[in-house]
Structure 1
């Protein structure tokens, strides 16, 4: 990642960038307001001809004042251009309006993270997800998922699934090219990966391991699809080191799961993976590493997502630098047989691991 090896801004550019950080929350709220109240769409619909403040207010149903302050804010953030009193949308404004990745990220920050991130400083000091208190009293967000408000759940799962769903079809052939037939899906969540496996080939069997609340959410969908004979369940608190993983499987799968834990917890989980597989078994890890991204913007998104883990998820995990993660793998007695980067739009990396 050469993006982070030198300071490329002039002093003036750096000071301008600092102001964008200072007013970042204001810019975010303005963009989200224009997405929700239709102003972005109205200006997009005006096309190259552009639209005045008066016309935009009339078409969006906003007051003249409301349209004016938002459109002027949109100029500052780079969403609009202004020529002869006519506003037009920029490429960035178009992405704010229509790009699925941007919309998923914005809804996740708005509904899940925004209020809780106010407790980031406290979370850094205590090592606990102090921001989670905006939703209730839980130790981690994973215990809370099945009880969060519907809109918060929706935005959380859409964020989680957007990054994984696009990669699953790409990695399925990579995983099953190894010859595994019976795998454990640790952190199976709503069962999407397990269902994908069962639908990929008729001789594949999966055991979902997750917290009881998550397991119950997956069970309903799997019953609906008639896959109970191919997908079984093992409810467990993964952090309980006395809970050993079931044996008799030739592969263990973890997607966007280990980033939910601290370095020492990752090593502990991987050691139990080591014990659960035989000498010919595989451990498959799918993650977003910020240092393995092709684009600077992707690395930025991954780095910022780390602070959700700090303030709301559990207080001690993050989206990792791959070097930190690989040390955990090696400390657990595993070796990386193959690393495949840049999988899907989410920029996933697949690590195929064996016993060292």
Structure 2
């Protein structure tokens, strides 16, 4: 990875970029509103001829002032450009309007993170998600997800599923082609991975281990698929170090799960995972490591998501640098026997076994 190894901007470019940081909240909210109120959509519709501000006012049924101030902000942001008093959509504007990755990230940032980020400094000081109080009085975001208000709940799950679901098809064969009979799906969330496994292999039995709120959501999904006889549940608070994991599994699966915990908590969880598998069993970890990304923008997204964990989720976890994470695996008494990078949008798969 060649990102973040040099300072490439000259002094003028650096000062200009610093202003983007200084006005970042305005840039974000103006972009979101330009997308949501239809202005960008109508500019795109007139991409061949352009559209005047007066024509836009009629199309979106908003006051002239609203349209003018937002369009002028859009010029500076780079979402639109103007020629002969007519507005056109830029490539960046196109992605804000149409790109699914951008939509998922923008909605997650606005609906889940935006208000709570005011308390990022307090979260760092206290090692607690101080921003979470905008939604409720929980110790971590996971305790409240099942009762989260809308649109935050939908945006959280859209964000989570966008990144994980795109990787599932690629990793099913890595996990199931060795014909395991019993797999423990830790942090199973809404049950999507267990359902995918049950559909891929008719002989595997899945057990979802998660908090009661999450297992209740998963149970409904699984019942609707007619898979209740092949997917069971084990309700537990995994953060409690006294929680003993069920035993006798051929494999343990964790997708975008361990990034929800601190270094010390990861070691504790992995040690208990080792006790859950048979001697020849494997632990499969699907994670997003920012240093294993193909593009700088992807690494950037993961680094910023780490701040969501700090302020909103639990106060002490992150999207990890793989070098840091692999040290935690080793400290847990496990070794990585296979690592597959560049899965889906941004994932890596670690296949681990006990060190003998």
TM-score by length of 1: 0.98
SS of the residue 1:180 aligns to = coil
Write the mapping of 1:67-216 to structure 2, written as runs, cut at 5 A. Answer: 67-216=67-216
Cα drift, residue 177 of structure 1 = 2.6
Q: Following the alignment from structure 2 to structure 1, what is the Cα–Cα distance between the partners of residues 349 and 179? A: 16
Cα drift, residue 150 of structure 1 = 2.5
Cα drift, residue 146 of structure 1 = 1.1
Q: Which runs of 5+ in 1 are unaligned?
A: none
> Could you list the per-position Cα deviations for residues 139-197 of structure 1 after superposition, in whole angstroms to 9, with x for gaps in the alignment?
00000101111311111100100101111111101111333231000000000000000
SS of the residue 2:291 aligns to = helix
User: Paired residue for 2:321?
Assistant: 321
User: Paired residue for 2:49?
Assistant: 49
Q: Following the alignment from structure 2 to structure 1, what is the Cα–Cα distance between the partners of residues 256 and 335? A: 19
Cα drift, residue 86 of structure 1 = 1.1
Q: Following the alignment from structure 1 to structure 2, what is the Cα–Cα distance between the partners of residues 344 and 156? A: 19
User: Paired residue for 1:232?
Assistant: 232
SS of the residue 1:229 aligns to = coil
Q: Which stretches of structure 1, 4 residues or longer, exceed 4 Å deviation after superposition?
A: none
SS of the residue 2:74 aligns to = helix
SS of the residue 1:139 aligns to = coil
Q: Following the alignment from structure 1 to structure 2, what is the Cα–Cα distance between the partners of residues 73 and 334? A: 52
> Could you list the per-position Cα deviations for residues 192-241 of structure 1 after superposition, in whole angstroms to 9, with x for gaps in the alignment?
00000001111011000000110111111111111111000000000111
User: Paired residue for 2:351?
Assistant: 352
TM-score by length of 2: 0.98
| Residues 176, 201 of structure 2: 8 Å contact kept | no
Cα drift, residue 247 of structure 1 = 0.9
Q: Following the alignment from structure 1 to structure 2, what is the Cα–Cα distance between the partners of residues 348 and 267? A: 21
How many residues are matched?
A: 355
Matched, 1:256 2:256: yes
Matched, 1:31 2:31: yes
SS of the residue 1:150 aligns to = coil
Write the mapping of 1:303-318 to structure 2, written as runs, cut at 5 A. Answer: 303-318=303-318
SS of the residue 2:274 aligns to = helix
Q: Following the alignment from structure 1 to structure 2, what is the Cα–Cα distance between the partners of residues 204 and 75? A: 55
Q: Following the alignment from structure 2 to structure 1, what is the Cα–Cα distance between the partners of residues 331 and 275? A: 13
Q: Following the alignment from structure 1 to structure 2, what is the Cα–Cα distance between the partners of residues 352 and 169? A: 16
> Could you list the per-position Cα deviations for residues 110-138 of structure 1 after superposition, in whole angstroms to 9, with x for gaps in the alignment?
11000001100100100000000111111
